[in-house]
Structure 1
Amino acid sequence: MEHAANEVLAILEQKGYTSYKVGGFVRDTLLQLPIHDIDIATSATPEQVMNLFSKVIPTGMKHGTVTIFYQGYWFEVTTFRQDHEYLNHRHPDQVTFVQDIKVDLSRRDFTINAMAMDRFGNLIDPFHGSQDLKDGLLRAVGQPLQRFEEDALRVLRGLRFSVRYALTIEPKTWDAMMKAGSLLLTISKERVRDEFSKMLEGRDGLKAVDLLSTKGLLPFLDWHELFVRLSERPGRDRFNRFTDTTSRWAALFYGNSLTEARWFLTRWRFSNKFSSEVLTYLEIAEKERLTEREGKVLLLEFGLETVTRARELVKLKSDNHEDHERWKRWKEELFLHHPKELQVTGRDLLENYKKPPGPWVKETLQMLFEKAAIEGIPNCREVLLKEARAINDNHEGSNIENV
């Protein structure tokens, strides 16, 4: 990818345009981290860039950005610019194209993101971002409060960078974050949610929780309460042991009712699929003093991997220790593992009993499955149909008759 980016720079330079790799690429290169994408800044205007490359998408012409496809890679190319007044604490209303990379870098959020590198590896670093990386410091470019008032999302981005790169937030930058925190109310729910997600799902999610639980920082009471509740749990140090995304979020909600968790996930517009996965973990984890049958029913419904991952949540309570060997033993004792193994179908029930279709069919099949899988009743059609009659005869008002 970097070789292709350097060729893009060379093409631009051959036409007389100054060009650099910028932002996250420079930061992560200095930290010797994997590179996933490369942004390019240039003195060429968007129209001039579009004239030089065959496959170009005008992704943000108003702000000087186009996206080019070159040698199998996509590169975002933005003209050196100077931002004017910001609207709604998020985007500049107008930009002016400039010829000086240092002017362009001066509008960026943090010193560690305000560096540029040419195709020969020479560094442009007017705000000493490389030194801040060495010192483990996160510092805003220029006047910190102005940076956050321009774009309130930078508050959350700064917290995320601090967590991801293990950086201490410089005092003036931190003070400005605290003052600008209320401006996050102007940012869309999706943007806020996504920033929190990146922080919580990172390597040190617990540090993110501790930062986000800072009193007076967040204007979102519901988020703040979640972070504080987790930060005060006896088993809080176990949070980083949850390595999959669903477990991390379930751990955050653990201790809340399912109703509260469902309301929160809906309010903050998480996907239905993800919300269902988190709620499933919580439902499994909140069950206490499980009988053997109840445990085996959970295994039949959700599988061993989901159940054991969900049950890890109880370790957030310091006095709880989950016996995973018990779950493995219970699984091995099951006679069946999937409803499709059952030697009777809903059609069989309808054909053998004079009763209209309805919820009773699904309910009866589930009960038969549990009896065959857990109790070990013979999994053959005749026995299962007989058992189905017994099940439905026990239901109040049952009118099942043999055909």
Structure 2
Amino acid sequence: MILTQLPTAFQQARPIIETIEAAGYEAYFVGGGVRDTILGKPLHDVDIATSAFPAEVKGLFKRTVDTGIEHGTVMILDHGTGYETTTFRTESGYQDYRRPDKVTFVRSLKEDLKRRDFTINALAMRANGEVIDLFDGLADLKAGVLRAVGVAEDRFHEDALRMMRAVRFASQLDFTIEPQTQQAITDNAALLTKIAVERTRVEWEKLLMGQQPQRGLQALLDTALYRYMPQMADQQAMLQRLIDLPAWQLPTIESTWTLLAWLMDLPNQAAIRHLLKAWKTSNDLIDHVSAAWLVVSSLKQRGQLTPSELFSAGAAALKTANTVANLLGFGQPQAELTAAYAALPIQDKHELAINGGDLLRQQLTTPGPQMGQILAQLLHAVVIGQVKNESADLLDLARMIADTKND
């Protein structure tokens, strides 16, 4: 196969390959970029593999960076763009199921490609668009099949994350995992515990945001791989509920975690924080999902939100929550929620017309918890329309609150 219409990113990288070839070495485009180009999907990155050893690559270009020199990877800088160029290599001795104990540079493309995870990712392409297919990856691409290169168990022992990559690709590409590869995942699922949570989370989130998440989720269930994911060992019922939902795609990571938290029947925000901390997500995501979960709960119970709930959630979490609620069948028209939020007297606590300094100058309180309590009451009063967001009105109310507290 020869691809005649190469993406611009490949065309711009052709001089890199041509320079390496002119020096007597082999060089090819490899990896997901080749796969996605054949599938007609957007190109996200350009990776190059070469028979030239790292020192030889560095000798051919003026500007390089040793991004992974111990594994043969050199970043070639060309007109403001970096191209990761990796020497053909073999690997051995994966005692931790994550990293090779030994990397050996070789001159053989076949030796390099046969250590890759799946046949659809073991394709190489010359600068002129000619695809080199040594493991029948093109046939598997055409058939929509995920198949490990060589012996599946060997590939998963080399890097156990490849099992998560398999179920993720099933979702992203809407592919079927072929039986021997799926059986190897089932047999080796426990090895996922050897993998850093952060790496597993990336694959999990990509699965949930894929074009056919049900396919990836079904593979998780069929292989029992989910039992070795953080906080997921007893979540078979939740996964089945996800699969049984009408065809869905969620637009953000926040919405995927909000949906999961809801379907897991977590009792409160503390449980949500515990879940997300186990997955080592960011504090910002934890706050966002916690706020969105509260909104989903209110929409489920009452079908509408109070001004205080609108304000507490904020625009971003409101949108996340309503996206999830609509998927579950009890959301609201987004335009109506957006309009209700926009109609609030203020959308942020910093918009309050007075602050702690004003209270101190008026000698209404002293620094400490009482000041925070008064400001919180003022903020609530403004949000629900009890008082106008004007300094004089707020100070009058603050005096009343302070007098009550001092009685």
The TM-score, its normalising length taken from structure 1, stands at 0.88
Q: Deviations over 1:129-164 (max 9, x none)?
A: 011101111111111111111211111111112211
The aligned residue for residue 208 of structure 1 is 216
Measure the CA separation in 1 of the matches of 2:400 and 2:327.
Answer: 43
**Per-residue deviation at 1:168?**
0.8
CA contact (8 A) 2:90 2:105 kept: yes
- State the match for 2:6 in structure 1: none
Aligned to 2:76, the other structure's residue is in SS state strand
- Aligned match for 1:220, one of 210, 229, 237: 229
CA RMSD of aligned residues (A): 2.6
Q: Which moved more, 1:355-364 or 1:227-236?
A: 227-236
Instruction: Give 3-state SS (helix, strand or coil) of 1:350's partner.
Output: helix
Cα distance in 1, alignment partners of residues 255 and 105 from structure 2: 46
Q: Which position in structure 2 is the counterpart of 1:278?
A: 289
Among 368, 385, 392, the residue aligned to 1:358: 368
Distance 1:182 1:225 in 2: 15
Aligned residue runs from structure 1 range 164-183, under 5 A: 164-183=172-191
Q: Secondary structure at the match of 1:375?
A: coil
Following superposition, the deviation at residue 81 of structure 1 comes to 1.9
Query: In terms of mean alpha carbon deviation, does 169-178 or 3-12 score higher?
Result: 3-12
Say whether the 8 Å CA contact 1:238–1:315 is kept in structure 2. no
For the residue of structure 1 that corresponds to 2:225, the secondary structure is coil
- The sequence identity of aligned pairs, in percent, is 35
Whether the 8 Å contact between 1:4 and 1:71 is mirrored in structure 2 is no
Other structure's SS at 1:355 match: coil
Change (3 A) 1:268 1:338: closer
Provide the residue aligned with 2:245 in structure 1: 236
Cα separation, partners in 2 of 1:2 and 1:392, compared to 1, 3 Å? same
Q: Kindly provide the amino acid, as one letter, of the partner of residue 212 in structure 1.
A: L
Mapped contact 1:115–1:126 kept (Cα < 8 A): yes
Partner residue, 2:357: 347
Conserved? CA contact 1:298–1:307, under 8 Å: no
- Conservation of the 8 A alpha-carbon contact between 2:322 and 2:331: no
Which runs of no fewer than 5 residues in structure 2 stay unpaired? 1-8
Q: Aligned to 1:40, which of 39, 48, 54?
A: 48
Residue 374 (structure 2) pairs with residue 381 (structure 1): no
Alpha-carbon spacing, 1:323–1:179, altered in 2? closer, same or farther (3 Å)? same
Question: What is the count of residue pairs matched by the alignment?
Answer: 394
C-alpha displacement of 1:376? 4.7
Shift of 1:73: 1.8
Shift of 1:333: 5.3
Instruction: Indicate conservation of the 8 Å contact 2:172/2:213, yes or no.
Output: no
- Please state how far the C-alpha of 1:171 moved relative to its aligned partner: 0.7
Which residue number in structure 1 is paired with residue 273 of structure 2? 262
What is the rounded CA distance, in whole Å, between the counterparts of 1:291 and 1:195 in structure 2? 34
Counterpart check, 1:81 vs 2:89: yes
In the other structure, the counterpart of 2:381 is: 371
Structure 1 distance, partners of 2:189, 2:243, is 28
* Cα gap change, 1:206 to 1:20, in 2 (>3 Å): same
* Residues 2-401 of structure 1 mapped to structure 2, 5 A cutoff: 2-214=10-222, 216-218=224-226, 219-220=228-229, 222-226=231-235, 228-232=237-241, 236-237=245-246, 239-240=248-249, 242-254=250-262, 255-257=265-267, 258-287=269-298, 289=301, 295-315=306-326, 317=328, 320-322=330-332, 327=337, 330-331=340-341, 334-353=344-363, 355-395=365-405, 398=406
Contact 1:213 1:228 (C-alpha < 8 Å) held by counterparts: no
Does the CA contact (< 8 Å) of 1:212 and 1:224 recur in 2?
Answer: no
Distance 1:84 1:336 in 2: 61
The one-letter amino acid paired with 2:292 is: Y
How far residue 262 of structure 1 moved from its aligned partner, in angstroms, is 0.8
C-alpha spacing 1:238/1:314, structure 2 compared with 1 (3 Å): farther
Shift of 1:332: 6.1
Deviates more, 1:303-312 or 1:130-139: 303-312
Q: Distance in 2 between matches of 1:209 and 1:220?
A: 13
Q: Secondary structure at the match of 1:69?
A: strand
User: In structure 1, how many angstroms separate the alpha carbons of the residues matched to 2:230 and 2:378?
Assistant: 47
The alpha carbon displacement at 1:215 in A equals 5.7
Shift of 1:225: 3.7
Deviation at 1:235, TM superposition (A): 7.3
Cα distance, 1:363 vs. partner? 2.6
TM-score by length of 2: 0.88
- d(CA) in 1 for partners of 2:223, 2:303: 42
Residue aligning to 2:5: none
After superposition, the Cα gap between the structure-2 partners of 1:233 and 1:56, relative to the gap in structure 1 and judged at 3 Å, is: closer
Task: Assess, with a 3 A threshold, how the Cα gap between structure 1 residues 367 and 137 changes in structure 2: closer, same or farther.
Answer: same
**Alpha-carbon spacing, 1:68–1:298, altered in 2? closer, same or farther (3 Å):** same
Query: CA offsets per residue over residues 16-45 of structure 1, 9 Å max, x none?
Result: 111111111221121122212111111111
**Residue 137 of structure 1 aligns to which amino acid in structure 2?**
V
Matched residue type, 1:122:
E
More deviation, 113-122/306-315: 306-315
Q: Secondary structure at the match of 1:213?
A: helix
- Report the more deviating stretch, 307-316 or 174-183: 307-316
Instruction: Give the superposition deviation at 1:331.
Output: 4.1
Which amino acid is the alignment partner of residue 266 of structure 2? N
Structure 1: any 5+ residue segments left out of the alignment? Answer: none
The 10-residue stretch of structure 1 (198-207 or 104-113) with the greater mean CA deviation from structure 2 = 198-207
